[in-house]
Structure 1
């Protein structure tokens, strides 16, 4: 493995991908880990025909499937479209009628807005606010006050990792009493560590690896998920598994299967 850090910078991600392809002659790239960087890398992998297994969620990384730029693009996390469907279903089941939205001001936030607003319309949820914030912002007070002025029943924060704590913390400080939803991009212990009591009661969807022990025995991925959890916790300690670690493990399983198939076909 060759590991490079793009520091969440799309330009750096493109440089890294081109270096891995041109200088290191890699057979496949696992990553980038965030949506803007994965989308930025599409041209480079299309030009070289190098498979990229992104660890980012947006469906726009691989869709539309007939697009030549995306022929070699794959990804492991669940699509934002799928998770938006789950979130809006939960909202309507809980009697939510109005929703405010605040997301990253990049491809992750835009993709989530596109998918969420589409499903909200289908579910007859009225979106009363649409705000953005940066991953490195230190204040979102203005955006939160705008959302709260519309008095929504719920607010969806479309962010990932620890930066997604800030809007929720601000909502609490400003006295918001409605339901707060987040995306599967927060499924990590770092989010809980940084957020602490400020993120108590968060509602969010996640992949099966995070709740592997709670899955029914009939669940098709329970055995594989439990195997990964056991391996991961043996190395890093109890309760350390995250959605992101599971996605990386899934990429390894995918590539292991692909390489075996390729070798059987006579590929070198």
Structure 2
């Protein structure tokens, strides 16, 4: 009898979960929707012939400092586009997922976007690990995927060839590492400590450092890593202090880098601190506080847009984006949101030209987009390079009194 009741209970529980999993949250503006329940939005209500685009971001969890602005930016731009009549008279239906900074959630979200939502294009993958986990599904389903994460591995396979269905908006980790190395060389800081976060983003950066450091006359006196969940890096930094480096490179994103850099200040290590473009958001300054001052990093030009020459082709675009985002969300725009904005602009250009056929969209981005001046830089995507940014899309920036200032 007990076994019968238990079996019946399990059966009913399974049926209940299936029913819950198939429910839809269509029409809600919920930036924290999970991979289990998508949020479907359009400016005037989606119709059967609407254009479906997916946004999959880490709007919560450890990478929320990056993913929240990406999610918000995409929603803002879809609303603006739909208010202007959509694309070729069709409204955009945006389906959003919050992967909670978790690879398994990201995979689930990508699978649902492609097989259930039947979207024409996917934008997202806030962090490199999630993007790498998601991209095989895009390739298997032959749907264009525009990643907003940094690792070179996202758009290039193990043979150095461009992945057919994957494009990427942020600058390469290779480009970021080489800008840091050039800065070190120019300032005669030749012996450095390299510290990276222990995930795909961190190891990708470390690989580039190992490969390119000697070309710039830079050598490491210590190389080590820290966890994404680090709360106290002082034991690690004690070893760094003994190594007596000319400079310290902290390669991570907002939360973990802030912990390490605060500990560097607490231990009074007086070597210059350089960081990756993974901290290029005001939230890093908020989390790190005074410890953020004098940190130097390569980043896109959004954070220093007001300091750019008026002749710079990005300046007007950057200021307009920041104004729109600040007006809507009552906070400054983020470099990471800019990645999502560039992805959306490229996606809409492709859809305007080719409709919603996935193969035609892919071919347009690769072969017909041409030179595109975006918020991140000037893109020249082609068959060999599905990122298309040059190193000059970076500026070297120093944080001074809690503000971003041009270093070069």
Same structural fold, with TM-score higher than 0.5 when normalized by the shorter chain: yes
Selected match of 1:135 from 215, 219, 228: 228
1:163 Cα offset (Å): 2.0
Partner of 2:337: 245
Partner of 2:54: none
Change (3 A) 1:67 1:125: closer
Distance (Å, rounded) in 2 between the aligned partners of 1:226 and 1:119? 34
Which one has a larger percent helix, Structure 1 or Structure 2? 1
Partner of 1:22: 115
Partner of 2:68: none
The residue matched to 2:195 in structure 1 has which SS? strand
Selected match of 2:281 from 180, 188, 193: 188
Which one has a larger percent strand, Structure 1 or Structure 2? 2
Partner of 1:217: 310
1:264 Cα offset (Å): 11
1:119 Cα offset (Å): 2.4
| Bigger RCO of structures 1 and 2 (CA < 8 A, at least 6 apart) | 2
1:77-226 equivalent positions in 2, closer than 5 A: 77-226=170-319
Question: Would you identify which runs of 4 or more consecutive aligned residues in structure 1 move more than 6 Å?
Answer: 65-69
Alignment RMSD, CA only? 2.1
Aligned length: 267
1:94 Cα offset (Å): 1.2
Distance (Å, rounded) in 2 between the aligned partners of 1:211 and 1:255? 26
The residue matched to 2:241 in structure 1 has which SS? helix
Structure 2 segments unaligned to the other structure (5+ residues) = 1-93, 362-408
Distance (Å, rounded) in 2 between the aligned partners of 1:122 and 1:64? 24
**What do the CA deviations read for 1:195-247 (whole angstroms, capped 9, x no partner)?**
00111110011102222121112223222222212211222336x12111111
Kept in 2: contact 1:6–1:16 (CA 8 A)? yes
Kept in 2: contact 1:46–1:69 (CA 8 A)? no
Structure 1 segments unaligned to the other structure (5+ residues) = none
Kept in 1: contact 2:197–2:256 (CA 8 A)? no
The residue matched to 1:57 in structure 2 has which SS? coil
Distance (Å, rounded) in 1 between the aligned partners of 2:263 and 2:328? 36
Q: Rg bigger for which structure?
A: 2
1:68 Cα offset (Å): 8.1
* TM-score, with structure 2 as normaliser: 0.62
The residue matched to 2:286 in structure 1 has which SS? helix
* TM-score, with structure 1 as normaliser: 0.93
The residue matched to 1:178 in structure 2 has which SS? coil
Partner of 1:263: 355
